[in-house]
């Protein structure tokens, strides 16, 4: 039911809330067009979250779907509960707010956004199970969970009679810690899908910041302060970017499409990918990345090159 690539919708926050300050505010008309392009290109699901503008992204997404003549059930919508400063009980007490923000479109996947807060794994999964029994949500996922946290959540939810279906993690060619810390191995063992967010490393893997390093200083948010965008960081990834550009020419695609396609195939069918899009060209690139498959030798080459230029932690 899911296309290999979905659309991440953090950038639909329209400048609202904590998350919205990271992106330039997009008018609803632009959001409508990005969603239209994504739909035409074969994308069938969309990932948003409570903290993305405190509901603004959710509402903007549904508004765009309706503008494109979509009805509830035509696409898959994933959203997330924000745990920081809350107990697990708020998963239940805030679900009506999520429904309202989504204009009562079904919540096909409800995720615990991160494993940090006053809540426990047991409390979170029991609350999610309650929502499943009530029919408020259709599937349960988590985000930013380690291998150990993933196993624990899976076991608790299984004891409640339900299956944990996904773990959404930061995962790209220069931030591959899910490959190295056992998270993806655990997901494969348990039959849980990995949803890769930030798959282009905040745009680094498109090569545009290597071509013109100065443009990072004009970008909103904290991205300009990340080590991977520093002079030394860009130098460390030169060989990888050169390989992406060379392969892009061979496959008649863009370097970004190569980077996205590698994520789709390196771990078999385990990984789904959710790039964002602030321009129509971004949405078009996302869709084209599903239309080819990298040769196994190219997959291996990118694997080897990427191991030489890893950036640790969420902030790279």
- Which are the catalytic amino acids? 52
Cα(105)–Cα(139) distance, rounded to whole angstroms?
14
Cα(224)–Cα(268) distance, rounded to whole angstroms?
33
Rounded to whole angstroms, what are the CA distances from 46 to 60, 184, 250, 258, 267? 12, 22, 30, 21, 22
Query: What burial letters (b/e) apply to 139-177, b meaning 16+ CB within 10 Å?
Result: bbbbbbbbbebbbbbbebbeebebebbbbbbbbbbbbbb
| Cβ(55)–Cβ(86) below 8 Å | no
Please, which residues bridge with residue 46 across strands? Answer: 7, 77
Q: Is 103 helix (H, G, I), strand (E, B) or coil?
A: coil
Query: What burial letters (b/e) apply to 187-205, b meaning 16+ CB within 10 Å?
Result: bbebebbbbbbbbbbbbbb
* Among the listed residues 150, 248, 244, the one whose alpha carbon sits nearest the alpha carbon of residue 201: 244
């Amino acid at each position: 039911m899911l296309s290999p690539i979905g659309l991440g919708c953090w950038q639909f926050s329209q400048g609202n809330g904590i998350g919205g300050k990271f992106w330039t505010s997009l008018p609803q008309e632009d959001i409508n067009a990005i969603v239209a392009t994504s739909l035409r290109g074969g994308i069938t699901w969309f990932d948003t979250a409570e903290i993305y503008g405190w509901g603004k992204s959710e509402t903007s997404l549904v508004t765009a779907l309706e503008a494109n003549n979509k009805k509830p059930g035509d696409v898959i919508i994933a959203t997330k509960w924000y745990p920081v400063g809350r107990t697990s009980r708020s998963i239940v007490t805030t679900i009506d707010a999520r429904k309202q923000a989504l204009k009562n479109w079904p919540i096909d996947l409800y995720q615990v956004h991160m494993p940090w807060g006053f809540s426990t794994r047991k409390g979170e999964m029991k609350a999610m199970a309650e929502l499943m029994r009530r029919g408020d949500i259709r599937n349960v996922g988590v985000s930013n969970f380690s291998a150990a946290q993933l196993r624990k959540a899976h076991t608790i939810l299984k004891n409640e009679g339900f299956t944990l279906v996904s773990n959404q993690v930061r995962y790209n060619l220069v931030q591959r810690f899910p490959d190295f810390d056992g998270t993806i191995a655990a997901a494969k063992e348990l039959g849980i899908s990995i949803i890769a967010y930030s798959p282009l490393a905040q745009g680094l893997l498109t090569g545009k910041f290597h071509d013109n390093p100065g443009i990072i200083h004009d970008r909103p948010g904290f991205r300009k302060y990340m080590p991977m965008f520093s002079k030394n960081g860009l130098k460390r990834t030169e060989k990888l970017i050169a390989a992406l550009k060379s392969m892009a020419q061979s496959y008649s695609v863009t370097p970004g499409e190569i980077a996205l396609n590698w994520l789709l195939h390196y771990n078999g069918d385990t990984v789904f990918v959710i790039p964002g899009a602030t321009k129509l060209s971004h949405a078009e690139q996302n869709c084209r990345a599903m239309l080819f498959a990298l040769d196994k030798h190219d997959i291996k080459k990118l694997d080897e090159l990427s191991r030489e230029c890893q950036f640790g932690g969420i902030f790279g």
